[in-house]
Structure 1
Amino acid sequence: MIIRKKRAVPLICAIICLIIMGGSMIAVAVLSGSLESQRVAQRWRNGEMRYSQVSVFLPDEAGLSHTATAQLRQSVDNYLAAESIKAPNQNARIWIYAFSGETTVSVSKNTEAVQARAICTGGDFFTFHPVDMASGWYYSDKDIMDDGVIIDRALAWRLYGGYDLTGLSVRIGGYPCKIAGVSNTPERRSENDSYGTEPTVYVPFSLMQKIGQAPNVTCYEAVLPDPVGGFALKTIESAIPYNDGDFEIIENSRRFSPKSNFANIGAYARRTQRTNSVFYPWWENSARYLENFAALFTLLAVISAIYPAALLITLILRLFRRRKTIFRALARMMSQLLVSRRLNEK
């Protein structure tokens, strides 16, 4: 009985380790799909063409100008055309992009003024970042009037004491604007912590240019064809008019892959040390927060797999050493079965 218990202990330990490993792998899968801002390529993809999402982050003082984003777009179009990657028709789009930058503005209603964080947006920003709306709708670069803004709940409460404010007016830097909608504060902890408590307003870049307070573009995002691994990354990287050390580029579609998770394990300590002045918006800080957890769960899965793997290897080696005895036992068993079958036939 004692011998049987001793044999059962390693098996029980192996099962526990396998459960921990499976749970860790599930946790990584859940983390990788929890942020809509990192899954744009999956939502945009249509048909057999593979797509990838790429993000570029730049320092605030050396960001792109609004004009430079148009040049970057043209560079990407030329690069894709040179590789014979074209839209199926004139009305279709082969790739999408968004850009943003941040500054601080004064948002006022009558005599009430609030200092707020302004996230200035361009391109298909709300395709990349479908913020949850308490009321109203998203504005678009295609709107005839570019005076629509989205304020978050904190700012809405400070100004009006309510949230159903669509169509009402506010002033940004003294310039009259219309409230297109009110956005909810992110509820998920990783996003909420990164978002913070500062009152926030989303403003079109074109409107901020009229106001005269347009910041530099510090975040440029794109979803484009990736027929060969790394093609999308290379396309955007070649179009950015800066040296490698002046910006940070990330392939969002692969940031939670096993390869990336293992790389983050090796660079875990260095990830907390900033050696550049690149500006991360709140959604990128949220993604990096989850990246750290994905790396830890990957490490836990690897450690948990060591004991079952060692036990399996030990078992295989024991079976190999006793292979002659096992083969004899199998041969004896087969012989007995044949004899028994012949006796039954008689």
Structure 2
Amino acid sequence: MKFFNNLDKEKIKNKILKVIKSKAFIIVITLIILDLVLGFISRALIHKLPEQSAADRWSSDGKKMAQVSIFFTEDQMIDTDFIKKMEYVMESKMTNAGIVEEQDDDPKPQKDPRIVETQKIGDNGAYEDTEGPVDDTKLYSSCYSAQGIVSISFEGKTADKVTAIGTFGDFFLFHPLELVSGSYYNKDALMKDQIVIDEDLSWQLFGSNEVVGQMVTIGDVPHYISGVVKRQEGKMRTAAGQQGGLAYISYDSLCKYGVILSGRTEKVEISEDGKTALTGGINCYEVVMPSPVDGIVKTIVKESAALDDRYISIVDNTERFSAFSMYDILTAFGTRSMWNKAIFYPYWENLARGYEDILVVLFTIRWICKLIVICMFSVYVVYLYRHKTWTVSGIVQTLSDKKYDLEVKQKQKKDEKEAKERS
């Protein structure tokens, strides 16, 4: 105790402060670099989810767009008629919100609403660049899908229980899958007999990726390969549901020749000879439209669905990875995993939810770095203030002296110039 009592406390304090000051700069720079690196990693992860950025791809001419996805529980009967009714109500609400102008009865050239797209699907199913508005009667673009399984055969080979995504509408505009060969199928084609398969299924059936135009059978009905898409690898994607072969087919084909797993279905007769098909099972609806006010698109879609929160989950994809959204996820830590809705999420939504968990960890670390830097800077400012060797009056006097010296120098230069001119 005597030893400690004899120590010069002031010297110890000064030594500690000296060490802190010498290391503080390095700590601050390290934290700033760490924040920048984690920010870069976060943007790279978000870039891996193009399904979440349709609004960014379509925004142009200063027009802000919003993308919203709605998922239905498995106990709901969501069929094509439900979606049509939902869109009818949605268009009415868009008009009331001022997104769509009401058209009068004046037979002048109609001011049909338009959606400005950066890309569209051409007649052959491939992406084509467009300039200016697309000649469409809708101000928005949408698609819906159902998940199920089908059996696909080719010359004696059969891929049984293949995971199938039954699509309708602008599905490939929302999901710009990387093509290995061929193109996407045309959503407006009269015959819904084209399909897109991934590399895994292509090699399983054909032993090659160059299979565009080949005929396969689904439920003994001919279908044609429109394109082959790259198989995305990784633990996250496998866990999300992208394992095994994957086929993208029309919703019509999935209803007629497959088994729908994603929602409630009913059998309906489709011909006089007793043939039946499934209806329903739609579990995902996606839309992109102009958003003059933040959050208005999500509100419109939710109200148009006219279902209780217990039967739907709605996501504003546009703001999904914003700081506010990350904060909401962080504050819901623990309860976020407690899911009481029976929803068959498609793989892209499972993947997005998985990446949200990763991004919120990076978000937390980045904010911890920022807070430490702010605290250290604040402490340093307080330290400088408490140990200041200056006063406000002294600063004012110094500035006044500098101003006087400057005026004297300017006057001297002026006098010398006038003297030279006289001589």
Q: Same fold (TM over 0.5)?
A: yes
Q: Which amino acid aligns with 1:297?
A: L
Question: Any stretches of 5+ residues in structure 2 without a counterpart?
Answer: 1-13, 102-110, 114-134, 258-276, 414-423
Report how far residue 222 of structure 1 moved.
Answer: 0.5
Conservation of the 8 A alpha-carbon contact between 1:118 and 1:200: yes
Which of 47, 60, 66 in structure 2 is aligned with 1:46? 60
- Letter of the aligned partner of 2:175 in structure 1? H
| Residue correspondence of structure 1 range 214-229 to structure 2 within 5 A | 216-229=281-294
Q: Is the 8 A contact 2:150 2:254 kept in 1?
A: no
For residues 348 and 246 of structure 2, the distance between their equivalents in structure 1, rounded to whole angstroms, comes to 14
- How far the C-alpha of 1:306 sits from its partner, in A, is 2.3
Q: Which moved more, 1:194-203 or 1:51-60?
A: 194-203
Alignment of 1:154-169 (within 5 A): 154-169=200-215
Amino acid at match of 1:144: L
Counterpart among 85, 98, 102 of residue 99 in structure 2: 85
How does the TM-score come out when normalised to structure 2?
A: 0.74
Are the equivalent residues in 1 in contact too, given 2:71–2:284 (CA < 8 A)?
yes
Q: How much does 1:325 deviate?
A: 3.0
Task: Please give the per-residue CA displacement for 1:24-54, whole angstroms capped at 9, x wherever unaligned.
Answer: 3333333333321011011122323321100
Residue 60 of structure 2 aligns to a residue whose secondary structure is coil
**Of 246, 264, 271, which aligns to 2:311?**
246
Contact 1:135 1:166 in 2 (8 A): yes
Pair 1:107 & 2:152 matched: yes
Residue of structure 1 in register with 2:86 after alignment: 72
The CA deviation at 1:70 is: 1.5
Residues 1:276 and 2:341 aligned together: yes
Match of 2:194 in 1: 148
Relative contact order, higher structure (CA 8 A, sep 6+) = 1
Once the two structures are superposed, residues 148-189 of structure 1 have per-residue CA deviations (whole angstroms, 9 ceiling, x without a partner) of: 111211211121111111111111122221111122112466
Give the match for residue 177 of structure 2.
131
Greater alpha carbon shift after TM alignment, 16-25 vs 130-139:
16-25
1:23, CA displacement in angstroms? 2.4
Matched-pair contact (CA < 8 Å) for 1:63–1:218: no
Report the Cα distance in structure 1 between the residues aligned to 2:186 and 2:27, rounded to whole angstroms.
Answer: 57
CA distance in 2, matches of 1:222, 1:338: 64
Q: 1:60 aligns with which of 69, 74, 98?
A: 74
Give the RMSD, CA atoms, in angstroms: 2.7
Distance (Å, rounded) in 1 between the aligned partners of 2:213 and 2:408: 94
2:140 paired with 1:95: yes
Distance 1:332 1:73, change over 3 A: closer
CA shift for structure 1 position 334: 5.0
1:120–1:214 CA contact under 8 A, matched in 2? no
Structure-1 separation of matches of 2:37 and 2:45: 12
SS at match of 1:310: helix
What is the number of residues matched between the two proteins? 346
Once the two structures are superposed, the pairs formed by residues 182-193 of structure 1 within 5 Å of their partners are 182-187=228-233, 190-191=236-237, 193=239
In structure 1, what is the equivalent of residue 131 of structure 2? none
Deviations 1:215-261 (A, max 9, x none): 51111100012111110001100111421111100000001010001
| Mapped partners of 1:25, 1:180: distance in 2 | 39
1:325 to 381, 384, 390: 390
Contact 2:150 2:163 (C-alpha < 8 Å) held by counterparts: yes
Instruction: Report % sequence identity.
Output: 24
Quick one: structure 1 residues 333 and 82, their matched pair in 2 at CA, closer, same or farther if it must change by over 3 Å?
closer
Deviation at 1:333?
4.9
Moved more, 23-32 or 282-291: 23-32
- How far off its partner does 1:105 sit? 1.2
Task: Quote how far apart the aligned CAs of 1:101 are.
Answer: 0.7
